Amino acid sequence: MTETTLTEQEIARIREALKEVYDPEIGISVVDLGLVRKIEEVDGEIQITMILTAPFCPLAGLILEQARAAAQAVTEKPVKVVQGMERWHPSMMEGEARQRLGFGYR
């Protein structure tokens, strides 16, 4: 497995595209929820590691595929989205999303 470095612009473009992917039950983007854990290039393909708000989310396949399609729309490299095993916690959310869900700021 060979890891290469994506430019900051490429990562920013992919993150921006992923802001259009929403958790359908919560109505907040996967980026704002803190579900996107890593964006990297491995063996010539973009690999995005994501977690979900619940370990056995029934919509996991849908969310991961929407994320793959959104990222694929802004890069010519193949995109793969993998589900990470890290547990999600509300502290991972962006400030505005935390406030919207009533968690406030820390």
Give the residue extent of every domain in the chain. Answer: 3-100
> Each residue of 27-78: pLDDT tens digit?
999 999 999 999 999 999 999 999 999 988 899 999 999 999 999 999 999 9
Amino acid 104: pLDDT: 63
Cα–Cα distance for residue pair 29/31, rounded to 1 Å:
5
Amino acid 86: pLDDT: 94
Q: Name the CATH code of domain 3-100 (choices 3.40.30.10, 3.40.47.10, 2.60.40.10, 3.30.300.130).
A: 3.30.300.130
- pTM greater than the 0.85 cutoff: yes
CB 106, CB 91: distance < 8 Å: yes
Cα–Cα distance for residue pair 59/52, rounded to 1 Å:
9
